[in-house]
Amino acid sequence: MKNANKFSNKQILILGLAKSGFAAAKVLSNLGARLTVNDQKPFEENEPAQELEKLGIKVVCGGHPIGILDDHFDFIVKNPGIPYSNPLLVKAKEKGIPVITEVELAYHITPAEFIGITGSNGKTTTTTLIFEMLKHGEKSPLIAGNIGTVACEVAQGAEKENMIVTELSSFQLMGIEDFAPKIAVLLNIFDAHLDYHGTKEEYVKAKARIFENQTEDDYSVINVDDKDVLFAAEGSKAKKIPFSTTRVLQTGAYMKEQSIYFDDEKIIEIKDIVLPGVHNLENILAAVAVAKLVDTPNSAITQVLTTFTGVKHRLQYVTSIQNRKFYNDSKATNILATKKAISAFEQPIILLAGGLDRGNEFDDLVPELTHVKAMVLFGQTAKKLERAGRLARIEMIKLVDNVEAAVKEAYTLSNEGDVILLSPACASWDQHKTFEERGDIFINAVHKLK
């Protein structure tokens, strides 16, 4: 491990368990830190907390008491989902206690370099594409972050020859101090997570932190079609590598004559790419740029692009029933993601949407809804989405209790040739623990129709 001594014998508070907190606790315990774990969930219902207590770790459950800070902590490792407005974190700031996320921990404990991918949409697809391209190019990549395995868990077993391809959220990036990816990718920026960040300006600042510690020896891969991305990358000291879906570039990744290019080299014809949706070309260009920067052979890149059909819960084809095609896009947790999903189809669409109310309206979705023939809505935002549907002059709009009921209703409204698309435009937390859970319920409900 690279800087294991940074945490050895330090007094550290793990705030919030879930996957990242649990993994961070085990890693730090192995490094010899003196740990306290604090989680909102009551101890008797909290299996991870019970397991950590058996390892001899001090556990405090059932709330976040401010008095816990009397133990004079050297660090707090915060679950990304806990807002900085939490009273305990406000008090920690007053006391000058550093607050990090486990991504910062991961960076300090491994000699491996990081490829960090962030953006409002397309992170999971791009991260997966990069990982697969590097794997086929025999580059010894590892994959981590929001996409599955917690970064610090991956990092503790990584070696210098590995590259850790990491999906990063704005929440995680707010909790870094030294984290500096060898290659940082910023795909796009859209109004998202404003309930957490407060304003778009703060959200952009959080995304921009991916470039904060890069040097002239690093690379920043940026979407030059997005003015907010350009603004976020202004301060980057790294070599800027552009990509664009709208213009031919002198350097970087772009499209020309119905093909993908990097610099002046043709990589693949667009017709040979199997990943559906025009919006995915943005993700593909970013992935190609990263792959070329680490000298991945074109054969490895094209092998992935001619076989990769997408990731689960992101425009995932489920099945066809009576010539109706069902797609699971449960990972579409904001308006832009749903707009892109709708634009991927030419067939009539029955849209299943709704979820956590973050305070926004859905007026930005209205122009895209002209391609939708019916809406089936659920969750806290059902009424707001209904209003957007009425503005788009959609005649068939139904409100139901949940995703399972939405599948049944959508099938009833459908005709042969229709696409039935779950693309919620909202987070899942009003009714589900994760978007994956929501997507799995959709898939099971579809198969029940058979």
Q: Say whether 298 counts as a known binding-site residue.
A: no
Give which of 16, 179, 187, 29 is closest to 105, Cα–Cα.
179
Question: Within 16-101, where are the H helices?
Answer: 18-30, 47-54, 87-95
Query: CA of 248: how far to CAs of 118, 200, 293, in Å?
Result: 24, 30, 19
In the block, tokens 């990358």 appear at 233
> Which residues is 398 bridged to in the sheet?
376
Q: Say whether 119 counts as a known binding-site residue.
A: yes
Q: Say whether 123 counts as a known binding-site residue.
A: yes
Q: Say whether 124 counts as a known binding-site residue.
A: yes
Q: Rounded to an integer, what distance in angstroms lies between the CA atom of residue 267 and that of residue 37?
A: 49
Instruction: State the pairing for strand pair 58-61/99-100.
Output: unpaired
Q: Say whether 235 counts as a known binding-site residue.
A: no
Q: Say whether 120 counts as a known binding-site residue.
A: yes
Question: What is the DSSP-derived secondary structure letter of residue 116?
Answer: E
Q: Say whether 122 counts as a known binding-site residue.
A: yes
For residue 177, give every residue at least 6 positions away whose Cβ sits within 8 Å of its Cβ, in sequence order, or none: 98, 100, 104
Residue 404 contacts residue 427 (beta carbons within 8 Å): no
End-to-end CA distance of the chain: 52
Phi-psi region of 409 (alpha: psi -120 to 50; beta: other; left: phi over 0): alpha
β-sheet with 58-61: strand ranges across: 58-61, 34-39, 11-15, 75-78, 99-100
Which parts are annotated binding residues for ATP?
119-125
Which parts are annotated binding residues?
119-125
